[in-house]
Structure 1
Amino acid sequence: MLTILPKLISCTAIAVISSCFVPLTSWAADDAAQIRAIVDTAVRPVMAEYDVPGMAVAVTINNQSWFFNYGVASRENATAISENTLFEIGSVSKTFAAILATYAQAQGVLSLDDHPGKYLPQLKNSAIDQASLLHLGTYCAGGLPLQVPDEISNMQQMMAYFQNWKPDAAPGAVRRYSNPSIGLFGHIAALAMKSDFASVAESVLFPQLGLQHTYVRVPDSAQANYAWGYNKANKAIRVTPDVFDVEAYGVKSSSADMIHFVRENIEPAQLAGPMRRAVEATHVGYFEVGAMVQGLGWEQYPYPVTLERLLEGNSQSMLMEANPTRPLRAPREPVKPTLFNKTGSTAGFGSYVLFVPEKKIGIVMLANRSYPIPARVKAAYAILQQLAPIVR
């Protein structure tokens, strides 16, 4: 049995969390109380500082999972958070767009080397058609913006935008994080599967991944589990439909389903044929961008990784600016060991997922407020420091 040092429990400020934790050299697989103390120490100060109404945290170690639930899913109804509470996972949805594309490739109906005009003839010979699907999926098409422009409200207008778009750089030269980029990527993947994204995700993708409570369109039967998000004015809100919302940030899921998804990413061999190859393909790195390697959906870091490097890779400049890339000479399996991560936000929700396959450890943090990304990274890193010691 491990002993939590008093020093750990006394550290309450997020600014000092990472320095308070001393890496453990072993852990007791059945010691839920010990793991809870570690998670509590990392999570509770963040919730207090940023007035987060509720949070669901899940941890997996060596194919075992633990769930830690805090606060409420609805302040109005005082509904308690559970591992079955549905959260908007925001841009973590992009990992599902990536898997749908690699699944379509595994099925032989799409190639990442294809260009948009193959699937959308109205885009043939346009500037966007110079980019490959791989460029779209890694935000390297040439400088597409972060958001779909406000004046666009339907797919016809979206296609007209792409027809007239002028790139800032050649495909593959810069990475600029972009919902239109991943949105077009996911849209084309669904077209290759002869469907729309929401339908193929809910009928093929989620069932084959064993996700029983993950949705694009939350059905009436699951509405009672759907949390309310809270914006800066503390108004209860949920995401509203928009062009490419489902591909870029529209998935709703629970911590139980998301930690199951993480475990499949840690050990894809448990999946059948094409889906196994699809998940494995999202672990390939294509472009070095500052502190991290960009793959499809996931962002990668050699492990162990410093907190400073993880914060740099999840920084505001990575989110808002065009950053030069260094294309890897050939698509490569990650340099082992590797940490994979992805953040996500909607107006009322904030999420963070990370995992290290070689350590067989993963962390899911889902909240019904979009609190700052650095706070998410620091809290998850503090938990990781305790549960899988980092060589500094």
Structure 2
Amino acid sequence: MRSKFLFFPVFVILLNLLTRNTMAQSIEQRKTDSVFQLVKTQFNAKNADQLYELTGSRLKKDLIIEAFRNICNYQLFVLGEIKESSLISFENNKDAIYKLNFSTGKTLQLLMSLDKNDKLAVFLFQPYKKAEGEKKSLASSSNLLKTIDDRHVDTAARVYIQKANTVGLSIGVLKDGKINYYEYGETARGNGKLPAGGTLFEIGSITKTFTSTLLAYYVNEGKLKLSDPITKYLPDSVTLNKALHGITLQNLSNHTSGLPSLPPDFFAHVTDTLNPYKDYTKRLLFSYLKTCTLNSQPGEKYAYSNMAAGLLGILLEHISGKTYEQMVTEIITQPLQMNSTVQNITPLLKPRLASVYNEDGKQTEVWDFSALAPCGSLKSTVNNLLIYAKANMAYGSTKLSEAIELTHNVTFDKDIKVCLAWHIIKVDGVEYYFHNGGTYGSSSFLAFNKEKNIAIVILSNCGESVDGVGVNILKKIQ
């Protein structure tokens, strides 16, 4: 569910990697290397079916060939050919990790292992991660460690912030009506300045919950219905594509539209690899939609889609006659007095914006958006997002409260529970409304449970995911 430039499918649960086997190359390693060469050959030939034949019965059971083809065609083959590859590690005499350099300039790593029949049991493409190491000294923090919860937060946060690649971390916890803020690290590497409750971060795909709140607002206003087909609001030239006729506004919101994560031509229009969304326009999106096919029938399968959320926001702009940022401001942030939640950073706000760093710890760019802004363009602060979380936990009679309440209705419940953008996760048996986000240089986490009166917001100015921090804190304080 994490929003990134490209989503990598998790085919199976990752195995726990044990101590590194430093012995000479084993028979198992040679077998694995041989299968990897077959993988590389079929990948470069863009032959999804032959790749599928290399998988074992367990993977075939978990992933039907149609889904595998879609993943290959829309997420993997667009990376280009594997130009260079090298073995990073072979652990537990079973689990191999290969570094892959693609013709598009992207670098990933591939985790794979074989079953007893020498077929693929694990086949997982991941962002390439160098050995992180640890910071040489303890990162600064505002955590005074006075309470048990303070110490629980610190334990979870230290695992993250002491990594060499991470820079700053801002945490807000609402529990039993009381809010505590915890700041770690720096707003820019080497500046010695702790983040604060008002430091601005990219929030990535948490933006999608704002987009779906706008959808719910206009539903309650009677301007549209969740069941409306998207063709009702698209240009006539696009509606000629019959594949789109079964998609509803709800399908766009809960990731069951059948549309891919991103348009297949998305990468062809990237002019700045560090800022990939800025040049993908509405014209390009509509041009793709005119001839697109779907990966599944609308409403049948969950498949996370940045494009669907972006398209939803475009349709809401058409319905309202306002820009996305105007809608967010007028309907959500102004009523809640969230004055530091914006799409575009003004000169006045810029000094409060944290510098951003990728998963390798190298400085990168804050993302700009064009057509797909409603999928991940907002910037916010930990204190603003706690206001937002509180509003999501306190139903009322205002138009905004009623819209928020509507976004909490479960709209899809097959293996995963999804509402309108919000996902429901369980942490040690307790259900939370949840969304996270990620750009090249930022990571975010928001979860809340009304009955427990708990909400947590975590913002980082590094692309390293903070999901583990959030879940570990919830386990301890709930």
Segments of 4+ moved more than 6 angstroms? none
Q: Which runs of 5+ in 2 are unaligned?
A: 1-16, 18-144, 270-279
Shift of 1:32: 5.8
**C-alpha spacing 1:242/1:303, structure 2 compared with 1 (3 Å):** closer
* In 1: Cα distance, 2:356 partner to 2:287 partner: 33
Give the alignment partner of residue 150 of structure 1, picking from 248, 267, 270: 267
* In 2: Cα distance, 1:46 partner to 1:302 partner: 22
Could you list the per-position Cα deviations for residues 304-345 of structure 1 after superposition, in whole angstroms to 9, with x for gaps in the alignment? Answer: 53xxxxxxxxxxxxxxxxxxxxxxxxxxxxxxx731111100
Query: Which residue of 1 is the match for residue 118 of structure 2?
Result: none
The code of the aligned residue for 1:137 comes to: S
Shift of 1:264: 1.1
Query: Which residue of 2 is the match for residue 208 of structure 1?
Result: 335
Count of residues paired in the alignment: 322
The code of the aligned residue for 2:251 comes to: H
* In 1: Cα distance, 2:146 partner to 2:206 partner: 27
Query: Which residue of 2 is the match for residue 117 of structure 1?
Result: 231
The code of the aligned residue for 1:340 comes to: Y
Shift of 1:69: 0.5
Shift of 1:379: 2.4
Shift of 1:50: 5.7
Query: Which residue of 1 is the match for residue 456 of structure 2?
Result: 363
**C-alpha spacing 1:198/1:129, structure 2 compared with 1 (3 Å):** farther
Query: Which residue of 2 is the match for residue 287 of structure 1?
Result: 412
**Is this contact kept in 1: 2:165–2:359, CA < 8 A?**
no
Q: Does 1:97 align with 2:224?
A: no
Larger Rg: 2
Q: How does 1:284-363 map to 2 (within 5 A)?
A: 284-290=409-415, 292-301=416-425, 304-305=428-429, 338-363=431-456
Shift of 1:55: 0.4
Q: Does 1:47 align with 2:161?
A: yes
* In 2: Cα distance, 1:76 partner to 1:192 partner: 47
Identity %: 24
Partner of 1:136: helix, strand, or coil? helix
Shift of 1:179: 0.7
Q: Does 1:128 align with 2:244?
A: yes
Q: Does 1:107 align with 2:231?
A: no
* In 1: Cα distance, 2:214 partner to 2:365 partner: 25
Q: How does 1:250-269 map to 2 (within 5 A)?
A: 250-269=377-396
**Is this contact kept in 2: 1:89–1:253, CA < 8 A?**
yes
Kindly indicate which of the two structures has a greater share of residues assigned to helix: 1
Shift of 1:346: 0.5
Q: How does 1:147-186 map to 2 (within 5 A)?
A: 149-152=266-269, 153-186=280-313
* In 2: Cα distance, 1:361 partner to 1:344 partner: 20
* In 2: Cα distance, 1:237 partner to 1:155 partner: 26
* In 2: Cα distance, 1:147 partner to 1:387 partner: 41
* In 2: Cα distance, 1:357 partner to 1:385 partner: 16
Query: Which residue of 1 is the match for residue 473 of structure 2?
Result: 383
Compute the TM-score of the two structures, normalised by the length of structure 1.
Answer: 0.77
Shift of 1:298: 0.8
The code of the aligned residue for 2:226 comes to: L
* In 2: Cα distance, 1:260 partner to 1:147 partner: 34
* In 2: Cα distance, 1:364 partner to 1:224 partner: 22
Partner of 2:366: helix, strand, or coil? coil
Q: Which runs of 5+ in 1 are unaligned?
A: 1-14, 16-30, 306-336
**C-alpha spacing 1:125/1:113, structure 2 compared with 1 (3 Å):** farther
* In 1: Cα distance, 2:146 partner to 2:448 partner: 19
Query: Which residue of 1 is the match for residue 324 of structure 2?
Result: 197
Give the alignment partner of residue 141 of structure 1, picking from 257, 262, 285: 257
Could you list the per-position Cα deviations for residues 192-227 of structure 1 after superposition, in whole angstroms to 9, with x for gaps in the alignment? Answer: 221121222123321123312111111111111111
* In 1: Cα distance, 2:472 partner to 2:252 partner: 33
* In 2: Cα distance, 1:238 partner to 1:78 partner: 20
Could you list the per-position Cα deviations for residues 52-89 of structure 1 after superposition, in whole angstroms to 9, with x for gaps in the alignment? Answer: 10000000012221100111111254332001000000
Worse-superposed segment, 237-246 or 258-267: 237-246
Compute the TM-score of the two structures, normalised by the length of structure 2.
Answer: 0.64
* In 1: Cα distance, 2:220 partner to 2:245 partner: 23
Query: Which residue of 1 is the match for residue 74 of structure 2?
Result: none
Query: Which residue of 2 is the match for residue 333 of structure 1?
Result: none
Q: Does 1:64 align with 2:178?
A: yes
Could you list the per-position Cα deviations for residues 240-266 of structure 1 after superposition, in whole angstroms to 9, with x for gaps in the alignment? Answer: 323444201111000000111111111
* In 2: Cα distance, 1:344 partner to 1:173 partner: 25
Worse-superposed segment, 168-177 or 150-159: 150-159
**C-alpha spacing 1:293/1:102, structure 2 compared with 1 (3 Å):** same
RMSD (CA atoms): 2.1
* In 2: Cα distance, 1:303 partner to 1:234 partner: 29
Shift of 1:233: 4.6
* In 1: Cα distance, 2:330 partner to 2:399 partner: 15
**C-alpha spacing 1:96/1:79, structure 2 compared with 1 (3 Å):** same
Shift of 1:273: 2.1
Shift of 1:177: 0.6
Query: Which residue of 2 is the match for residue 231 of structure 1?
Result: 358
Partner of 2:445: helix, strand, or coil? strand
